[in-house]
Chains A and B, each alone.
Chain A
Amino acid sequence: MTVLNSVLDTSSEEFAANVAAMEEHLVALESLLDQAKAGGGEKYVDRHKSRGKLLARERIEFLIDRDSAFLELSPVAGAHTEYNVGAGVVTGVGVVENTECMIVASDPTDKGGAINPIGLAKGLRALEIAAQNRLPVVYLVESAGGDLPRQIDVFLPGGKTFRELTRLSAAGVPTISLVFGSSTAGGAYLPGMSDYTVFVEGRAKVFLGGPPLVKMATGEDSTDEELGGAEMHATTSGLADFMAVDERDAIRLGRMIVSRLNWRKQGGGPSAPVVEPVHDPEELLGVASADLKVPFDINDVIARIVDGSEFDEFKPMYGTSLVTGWARIHGFDVGILANHRGILFSEESQKATQFIQLANRSDTPLLFIQNVTGFMVGASYEQGGIVKHGSMMINAVSNSTVPHLTLQVGGSYGAGNYAMAGRPYDPRFVFVWPNAKTCIMGAEQLAGTLSIVARAAAERTGVEFDDEADVQRRTMITMKITQEEQATYLSGRVLDDGIIDPRDSRTVLGIALSAVHNGDVAGTDRFGVFRM
Chain B
Amino acid sequence: MAVFSKILIANRSEIARRVIRTCASMGIATVAVFSEHDADAPFVHDADEAVALPAGSSYLDIDAIVEAARRTEAAAVHPGYGFLAENASFAAAVEAAGMVFIGPDPATISAMGSKLRSRSLMEQVGVPLLLSAEIDVGSDISAAASEIGYPVLVKASSGGGGKGMRIVTEPSSLDDAIAAATREAESAFGDGTVYLEKYVEQPRHIEVQILGDGTGNVVHLYERECSIQRRFQKIIEESPSPGLDDELRQELWQAAVAAGQAVNYRGAGTVEFIVDADGGFAFLEMNTRLQVEHPVTEMTTGLDLVHEQIAIAAGVPLMSQHDVPAQYGHAIEARLNAERPAHGYLPSTGVVRRFGVDADVRVDTGIEEGSEISHHYDPMVAKVISHAPSRGEAAARLSAALQRAKIHGVDTNRDLLVGVLTDEDFLAGAVDTHFLDRKGNTLSRARATSDVVSLHAAVAALALQVDARHRATVQTSLPSGWRNVQSQVQQRTLAHEDDELDIGYRIGGAVTSMTVNESAVNIDHVYSATSSCVDISVDGVRRTFDVDINLGKVYVDSALAATVFVQIPRFEEPGSSVDSGSMIAKTPGTVVAVQVDVGDVVGAGDVVMIIEAMKMEQAIVAPEAGHVSAVHFAVGDQVRTGETLVEAETDG
Chain B contact residues, majority secondary structure: loop
A-facing mask of B556-600, CB < 8 A → 1, else 0?
Answer: 000000000000001101100000000000000000000000000
Q: With A58-B488, A72-B483 as known contacts, state yes or no: A252 contacts B571, CB within 8 Å.
A: yes
A123 and B642 CA atoms in complex are apart in Å by 48
Residues of chain A within 8 A of B574, CB atoms compared: 245, 249
Does B485 contact A33, Cβ atoms closer than 8 Å?
Answer: yes
Selecting from B150-158, B333-341, B471-479, B545-553, the interface stretch reads: B471-479
Q: Is residue A69 within 8 Å, beta carbon to beta carbon, of the partner chain?
A: yes
When the two chains form the complex, which single residue of A62, A72, A510 contacts B475, counting CB atoms closer than 8 Å? A510
Q: Which residues of B contact A69 (CB under 8 A)?
A: 475, 478-479, 481-483
State which residues 35-72 of A face B: CB under 8 Å.
36-37, 55, 57-58, 61-62, 65-72
Identify the stretch in A144-152, A399-407, A422-430, A498-506 within 8 Å (CB) of chain B at 4 or more residues: A498-506
Contacts of B58 in A (CB 8 A): none
- Total contacting residues, chain B, CB less than 8 A: 27
Taking CB atoms, residues of chain A closer than 8 Å to B132 are none
Determine if B139 is an interface residue (Cβ-Cβ < 8 Å): no
The listed residue (A57, A67, A498) touching B484 by CB distance below 8 A is A498
Asked if A331 is an interface residue, CB under 8 A from chain B, the answer is yes
Q: Which residues of B contact A514 (CB under 8 A)?
A: 474-475
In B448-501, the 8 Å CB interface with A consists of 465, 468-469, 472-485, 487-488, 490, 492
Q: What is the CA–CA distance of A508 and B476 in the complex, to the nearest angstrom?
A: 14
Contact of B472 among A95, A248, A252, A511 (CB under 8 A): A95
Q: How far is the CA of A331 from the CA of B474 in the complex (A)?
A: 12
Interface: A141 (CB within 8 A): no
In the bound complex, CA of A95 to CA of B483 (Å): 12
Query: Nearest-CB distance from A221 to chain B (Å)?
Result: 33
| A459 neighbours in B (Cβ, 8 Å) | none
Q: Does A300 contact B (CB under 8 A)?
A: no
B492 touches A68 (CB 8 A): no
A331 pairs with B468, CB closer than 8 A: no
Partner of B468, one of A36, A67, A99, A251: A67
Q: A61-B488, A67-B465, A67-B468 are in contact. Are A510 and B477 (CB under 8 A)?
A: yes
Among residues of B, the one whose C-beta sits closest to the C-beta of A274 is B477
Given A75-B484, A248-B571, A501-B484, A330 contacting B472 (CB threshold 8 A)? no
Q: How far is the CB of A201 from chain B (nearest CB, A)?
A: 10
CB neighbours of B482 from chain A (8 A):
69-70, 504, 507
A70 to chain B, nearest CB (A): 6
- Nearest Cβ in chain A — how far from B320, in angstroms? 70
Task: List chain B residues, Cβ under 8 A from A62.
Answer: 570
The CA-CA distance from A508 to B570 in the complex, in Å, is 27
- Contacting residues, chain A, for B490 (C-beta < 8 A): 66-67
Interchain nearest-CB distance for A69 vs B (Å): 4
Q: Separation in Å of the B640 CB from the closest CB of chain A?
A: 26
Given A66-B492, A500-B484, A501-B484, does the pair A100, B571 have CB atoms closer than 8 Å?
A: no
Q: How far is the CA of A300 from the CA of B502 in the complex (A)?
A: 42
Interface membership of B138, Cβ < 8 A: no
Shortest A418–chain B CB gap in Å is 27
B509 at the interface (CB under 8 A from A): yes
| B-chain residues with CB within 8 Å of residue A68 when the two chains form the complex | 468, 472, 475, 478, 481
Which B residue's beta carbon lies closest to that of A67? B468
Q: Tell me whether A70 and B483 are in contact (CB under 8 A).
A: yes
Q: How far is the CB of B489 from chain A (nearest CB, A)?
A: 9
Q: Which residues of B contact A330 (CB under 8 A)?
A: 475, 477-478
Contacting residue for A98 out of B474, B492, B509, B570, CB 8 A: B474
- Given A66-B570, A249-B571, A330-B478, residue A61 in contact with residue B487 (CB < 8 A): yes
Closest A residue to B490 by beta carbon equals A67
In the complex, what's the smallest C-beta–C-beta distance from B491 to chain A, in angstroms? 8
For residue A382, CB closer than 8 A to chain B, the reply is no
Q: Which residues of A are found within 8 Å of B469, using beta-carbon distances?
A: 67
Decide if B477 touches A331 in the complex (CB within 8 Å).
yes
Q: Which residue, B468, B469, B472, has most C-beta atoms of chain A within 10 A?
A: B472
- Within residues 92 to 143 of chain A, which ones have a CB less than 8 A from any CB in chain B? 95, 98-100
Q: Report the minimum CB–CB distance from B483 to chain A (whole Å).
A: 6
Is there a chain B Cβ closer than 8 Å to A291's Cβ?
no
Q: Which 8 A-B pairs have the closest CB atoms?
A: A252-B571, A274-B477, A69-B482, A57-B487, A67-B468, A72-B485, A98-B473, A69-B478
Residues of A within 8 A of B (CB): 33, 36-37, 55, 57-58, 61-62, 65-72, 75, 95, 98-100, 245, 248-249, 251-252, 255, 265, 274, 282, 330-331, 498, 500-501, 504, 507-508, 510-511, 514
B residues near A (Cβ < 8 Å) are 465, 468-469, 472-485, 487-488, 490, 492, 507, 509, 570-571, 573-574
Q: 23 A-B Cβ contacts within 8 A? A: A57-B485, A62-B570, A65-B472, A67-B480, A67-B490, A68-B478, A68-B481, A69-B479, A69-B482, A70-B482, A75-B485, A95-B472, A98-B473, A100-B475, A245-B574, A274-B476, A330-B475, A330-B478, A501-B484, A504-B482, A507-B478, A507-B482, A511-B478
Known contacts A58-B488, A68-B475; 16 additional CB pairs below 8 A are A55-B487, A57-B487, A61-B487, A65-B468, A67-B465, A69-B481, A70-B484, A100-B474, A245-B574, A274-B477, A282-B509, A330-B477, A500-B484, A501-B484, A507-B479, A511-B478
